[in-house]
Amino acid sequence: MPNQKELALKTLWILWGVLTYTVLIYGLIGYLLQRFGSLPPQPEFLGMLTQLFAGLGIAETFFLFFAAPRFLAKAGYTLYCIIRWSCAEAIAIYGLILFVLAGPWLIFGSFLGWAFALFLLLMPTQSDQDRYLGT
């Protein structure tokens, strides 16, 4: 019978897997939108949004690795993971929004790759949990 710590980590793996899977689904949605049509491009607006979303993504990445451990120190490991994964997920959503507004594949793929890389770095491992708990 698994102990409470092992069960909590398995639950986190399920949550992590589902959220990581949605990043792949955003890629599929983007592919289908390009193949079957999307909104007409608006270069000035798209450029401004790209810069805004890139800035937000950089701020979220900084938060994930430098501020979150301090701000969420008493939140519990499960909540800590969910909040960090939600921030990584938002970066993929930014890419999808840009793509729907007729952004190029390069920008879309960059945001998806960025989010996916963050998910790989934010896996719920035993060493990450121990580091968070200070054990």
At 122, is the pLDDT very low, low, confident or very high (cuts 50, 70, 90)?
Answer: very high
DSSP class of residue 41 equals P
Mean pLDDT over residues 108-116, rounded?
A: 96
Each residue's pLDDT tens digit, 45-97:
778 888 988 999 999 999 889 988 887 877 788 888 998 999 999 999 999 88
Identify the pLDDT of residue 111: 97
Residue 37: per-residue pLDDT: 64
Report whether pLDDT(7) > 80: no
CB 98 within 8 A of CB 50: yes
